[in-house]
Amino acid sequence: MSQVTVTEHLLLHQKKTPMATGRFTSLINELILSAKIISREVTKAGLVDVLGFTGDTNVQGEKVRKLDEFANNVLIHRMRRSGVLCAMASEENGDLIHISGDLPRGDYILIFDPLDGSSNIDVNVSIGTIFSIYRRPLKKTGDKPSMQEVLQSCDKQICSGYFIYGSSTMMVYTTGEGVHGFTLDPSVGEFLLSHEDMKIPDQGKIYSVNEAYWNSWDPATKEVLAHFKSTTNNLGQPYSSRYIGSLVADFHRNLLYGGIFMYPARTLDDGSKGGKLRLLCEAAPMAFLVEQAGGLATDGTQRILDYKPTELHQRVPLFIGSRNDVEKVAEIYTKHQEQK
């Protein structure tokens, strides 16, 4: 493995990456330190009292697990004091997290899912932290940014990535100059470059979806699934089905092997229809990564990075992964729309 750390990699690419300023680098370093603390606690799960629920329910209506709360607190506590942010948003908090007046502020906005894949925490299956960084559009460093300033078009992200707490802990990120992966070497406590310029294969062999929702899918979605199972698809044989239930882990595997992750819209009991995954802290950061790796991300037809969010916790359907596979999904959805 190379000896290149994330900071060195950012500096090496400074010419190509104008945001590799001291302030941006210190933001990334604070994020890395937070992730190391979260990783340490995840590794100790079972030995210390971090498994199970806190008894609270979050803004999404989901029961909060102790590790969810721990990861969220670590990120808020550290990043708030980083001096380079003007606001944060977390999957776990209903409102924007402002930087209080007595702390130094910068002009970056950080959006994160502190611990993605919560249902896997207590059973020792890979989970992750997802992050997305925007720059404040109006340089008014004195006051708090408005919601309008935070709800920028998703293609305005300047950096996104994730930490995956798996068989090893990894950081995968992009600043718009390719996707790079680093593995935490526990003996030196540093993330070292292990996967430079990652590219997702154009043609996948894997589809990842929670197929138990079959009865709540529309005919277009059912045809998408039938396509991946058929012998008349691009592969000439059924794809393999792999679903972990942690977006980070499913995405990471598909990035390396090729494949498509799908969380389609479902018709719910109350008749409403929509995706589950959150645009700002899940879909958009992964979409930035996958495009930088040569893949695609859509809601079926519309590119995720073309979304302009209207609310902080907006949800979207998500189809993300290998180019040929996501294009096929769009073809099927478009055909069904035209038939309506």
Task: Tell the smallest beta-carbon distance from residue 193 to ligand AHM (Å).
Answer: 26
- Residues near 316 by beta carbon (within 8 Å), at least 6 away in sequence: 274, 275, 277, 278, 279, 283, 299, 304, 307
Per DSSP, 120 falls in state G
Among 4, 28, 117, 252, binds ligand AHM (CB under 6 A): 117
CA dist 52 and 80 (Å) reads 27
Site for ligand AHM in 23-82 (CB under 6 A): 62
176 interacts with ligand AHM by CB under 6 A: no
CB closer to Mg ion, 128 vs 259:
128
Residue 116 near Mg ion by CB under 5 A: yes
Nearer to Mg ion, 113 or 325 (CB): 113
State how far the Cα of 89 lies from the Cα of 280, in Å rounded to an integer: 9
Contact between residue 93 and residue 59 where contact means Cβ atoms under 8 Å apart: yes
Q: Which of residues 118-137 bind ligand AHM (CB under 6 A)?
A: 118-119
The radius of gyration of the chain from alpha carbons, rounded to an integer in Å, stands at 20
Which window, 64-72, 114-122, 174-182, 298-306, contacts Mg ion (CB under 5 A)?
Answer: 114-122
Applying CB under 6 A, the span of 69-77, 113-121, 164-172, 304-312 interacting with ligand AHM comes to 113-121
**Binder among 41, 107, 116, 325 for ligand AHM (CB under 6 A):** 116
Say which residues have a Cβ less than 8 Å from residue 47's Cβ, sequence separation at least 6. none
Comparing every residue's Cβ against Mg ion, the nearest one is 116
A 10 A CB-CB count for 206 gives: 21
Q: How far is the CB of 263 from ligand AHM (least distance, A)?
A: 6
Three-state secondary-structure class, residue 236: coil
Rounded Cα distance, 112 and 120, in Å: 18
Q: Which is nearer to ligand AHM, 23 or 63 (CB)?
A: 63
Distance between the two ends of the chain, CA-based, in angstroms? 54
Pick 20 or 171: Cβ nearer ligand AHM: 171
Q: Which of 113, 190, 299, 325 binds Mg ion (CB under 5 A)?
A: 113
Q: Which amino acid is at 298?
A: T
Of these partners, Mg ion, ligand AHM, none, which one is at the site of residue 299 (CB under 5 to 8 Å by kind)?
A: none
Buried-exposed string 314-335: b where 16+ CB fall within 10 A, e elsewhere: bbbbbbbbbbbbbebbbebbee
Work out what residue 285 binds among ligand AHM, Mg ion, none; the CB cut-off runs from 5 to 8 Å by kind: none
> Looking only at residues 187 through 246 of this chain, which bind ligand AHM when binding is defined by CB under 6 A?
210, 245-246
Tokens of residue 87, six digits = 């606001």
Quote the least distance from Cβ 116 to ligand AHM, whole Å.
4
Contacting residues toward Mg ion, per CB under 5 A: 113, 116
Contacting residues toward ligand AHM, per CB under 6 A: 62, 91, 113, 116-119, 210, 245-247, 276
